[in-house]
Amino acid sequence: MVAGRPASRQEGLTVSAAARRKIEPREIAEPLCRFDDLVDGKSRGFDPLGEGRDTMFVVRRGDAIYAWRNHCPHYDRARMAWKKDEFLDPSGEQIMCFAHGALFAIDTGECTLGPCLGQSLTPVEVELREGAVRVKGIYEPGFRR
Amino acid sequence: MRIIGPDELIFGVDDLDACRTFLLDYGLTEVERTEAGGSYHALDGTGVTLRSRNDPSLPKPLPTASMLRKTIYGVEDQETLNQIAAELDKDREVVREADGSLSCRDDLDFELGFRITTRKKLDLPAEMINSPGAKPGRGPNVIGANQDAEAKPRTLSHIVYFVPDMDRMTKFYIDRLKFVITDKFTNTGPFLRPQANFDHHVLFMIQTPAYMQGLEHLAFHMQGPTELMLAGSRMVAKGYESFWGPGRHKFGSNWFWYFNSPLGTHVEYDADMDLHDGEWVERETPMSAEAAQLFLFENVEKWSPGGPPPGKKD
């Protein structure tokens, strides 16, 4: 939690400046979770940069995982879940944005019904290594601030 | 035409249990629960009714993702119902329901109902504040910050539709139902209030492509900004997704806090909206982030300064 960190004297920041500190894009060294921690058929949100909100989510289907940014293409940086980790419609067959009910294919991210028809979710490249789910490459912040 | 505002919104949803839990956590009271669904009321008896998407008793859905199936307006008296029936009979089917209400569709196929309002008249205190130079809102020893305050939604405030033809819809509500424009976002849509309600808006519309038609959000009025903050903070603590807010709008002046919901629409808390009468002259401005809000905040975890004095280890 950024706002809770004491001001660093070395950096010469006041508390309020620390709270406003810009989060930079970077590689995510630590894994998101173990593959076995993901429940088959369910979604789970992650906050790889510690921004205070889940900025991406992963859906597991059998041995496959699909990872998307938590941004509905309908509005700039619109958050999609209705509750922590709830990114799927009740059937579990599609991703749903609970802002206005848009539906997306889990595997392709394409919107099939709703306000962003024809648009797609933004993929997050992830890999499975030694049983852990990891984000590949540079990860951009996603939280409005 | 003495229309007051939306009394009840009926939804056909995929997940009755999730929607029920959401509305209870939001602060509405369950007044009916059956296998078919349930009804959830604010303090004055306005509210939301849930049914399953496939419930045969529901009006047909819009061909979009919207789960809203019917908007029922409350009116003052039978005379108003008669006026509405006479006006809308001219060019559309108006069904007289067994309970005395009317059902029809507006010019873009939103299902509407009209009934003599079932709202209970509320007699409740406003949020009381102390302000230098003004008579105290709270006397000596009356505490303002109550962590355990109930923070219940008081009344259904307004709805916002996504509409593919804003001009046609505006004309219908103004010419046929005698709504009045209070303010307008150019090329986005008008804020409308009916004749028997001074609230800045009970209906706002946003111009969109046809495939987006539906309900953008619904909102209930809270006692004031403090209860709005309290209720919203509780939603965040329960894991619900804050979508926008807390903040304060410019048009309407209402405080706002929007949440995503399993009803596939935003559900908003609002407080302290402007009132307008026939003397008001509408304002118009292009829609922008600057025009939409006086200020905007974001909920963060509670924090306080503290710890050891500077220079001490512990």
When pLDDT is averaged across residues B249-278 and rounded to a whole number, the result is: 97
Q: Among B25, B28, B48, which Cα is nearest to B38's? A: B48
Q: Among B182, B220, B173, B217, which Cα is nearest to B201's? A: B182
DSSP for A42-60 reads -EEEE-TT--SS--EEEEE
The answer to whether A59 and A65 have CB atoms below 8 angstroms apart is yes
Alpha-carbon gap, residue B167 to B164, rounded angstroms: 9
Q: Percent helix, strand and coil across chain A, each rounded to 5?
A: 10, 30, 60
Contacts (Cβ under 8 Å, ≥6 apart) of B89: none
First-residue to last-residue Cα distance in chain B = 70
The reported pLDDT for the residue numbered A2 is: 35
A129 strand-pairing partners:
A132
Contacts (Cβ under 8 Å, ≥6 apart) of B140: none
Distance from CA of B250 to the nearest CA of A (A): 20
For residue A17, report the phi and psi dihedrals to the nearest 5 degrees. -70, -40
Has residue B77 got a pLDDT over 70?
Answer: yes
Out of B64, B241, B300, the one facing A98 most closely (by C-beta) is: B241
Tell me the pLDDT band of A23, cut-offs 50, 70 and 90.
Answer: confident
Alpha-carbon gap, residue B242 to A79, rounded angstroms: 8
The reported pLDDT for the residue numbered A13 is: 42
Q: How many CA atoms lie within 13 A of B227 on its CB side?
A: 23
For residue B12, report the phi and psi dihedrals to the nearest 5 degrees. -110, 110
Each residue's pLDDT tens digit, A42-96: 999 999 999 888 999 999 999 999 999 999 998 888 899 999 999 999 999 999 9
Query: A73's torsion region: left (phi>0), alpha (psi -120 to 50) or beta?
Result: alpha
Each residue's pLDDT tens digit, A106-120: 999 999 999 899 999
The reported pLDDT for the residue numbered B115 is: 98
CB pairs under 8 A between A and B: 87
Each residue's pLDDT tens digit, B290-309: 999 999 999 888 888 877 77
Give the 3-state secondary structure of residue B170.
Answer: helix
The reported pLDDT for the residue numbered A21 is: 61
Q: Contact B66/A101, CB-based, under 8 Å?
A: yes
The reported pLDDT for the residue numbered B41 is: 98
Mean pLDDT in chain B? 96
Q: How many helices (H) and strands (E) does chain A have?
A: 1, 11
Give the 3-state secondary structure of residue B1.
Answer: coil
Q: Among B213, B215, B221, which Cα is nearest to B203's? A: B215
Structure tokens at A43: 């979604």
Q: Please give the C-alpha separations between residue A22 and each of A15, A76, A100, A136, in angstroms, as whole numbers.
A: 13, 19, 30, 22
Tell me the pLDDT band of A12, cut-offs 50, 70 and 90.
Answer: very low
Q: Contact A83/B211, CB-based, under 8 Å?
A: no
Percent of chain B at pLDDT exceeding 70: 99
Burial status of residue A142 (CB atoms within 10 A of its CB: 0-12, 13-18, 19 or more): buried
Q: Among A44, A73, A46, which Cα is nearest to A61's? A: A44
Give the 3-state secondary structure of residue B23.
Answer: helix
Higher-pLDDT residue of B218 and A51 is B218
Q: Contact B65/A84, CB-based, under 8 Å?
A: no
Alpha-carbon gap, residue B10 to B20, rounded angstroms: 13
Chain B hits for A1, Cβ within 8 Å: 300-301, 303
Structure tokens at A106: 């889990």
Estimate the crossing angle of helix B225-237 against helix B16-26, to 10 degrees: 140
Whole-prediction pTM: 0.91
Has residue B91 got a pLDDT over 50?
Answer: yes
Tell me the pLDDT band of A145, cut-offs 50, 70 and 90.
Answer: low
Distance from CA of B292 to the nearest CA of A (A): 15
Each residue's pLDDT tens digit, A125-144: 999 999 999 999 999 998 87
Q: Contact A145/B307, CB-based, under 8 Å?
A: no
- How remote is the C-alpha of A111 from its chain's centroid? 17
Q: How many CA atoms lie within 13 A of A104 on its CB side?
A: 31
Each residue's pLDDT tens digit, B29-51: 999 999 999 999 999 999 999 99
A130 strand-pairing partners:
none
Query: B133's torsion region: left (phi>0), alpha (psi -120 to 50) or beta?
Result: left
The reported pLDDT for the residue numbered B187 is: 87
Alpha-carbon gap, residue A72 to A95, rounded angstroms: 11
Out of A52, A79, A144, the one facing B260 most closely (by C-beta) is: A79
Out of B64, B214, B261, the one facing A98 most closely (by C-beta) is: B261
Each residue's pLDDT tens digit, B118-156: 999 999 999 999 999 999 999 999 999 999 999 999 999
The reported pLDDT for the residue numbered A143 is: 81
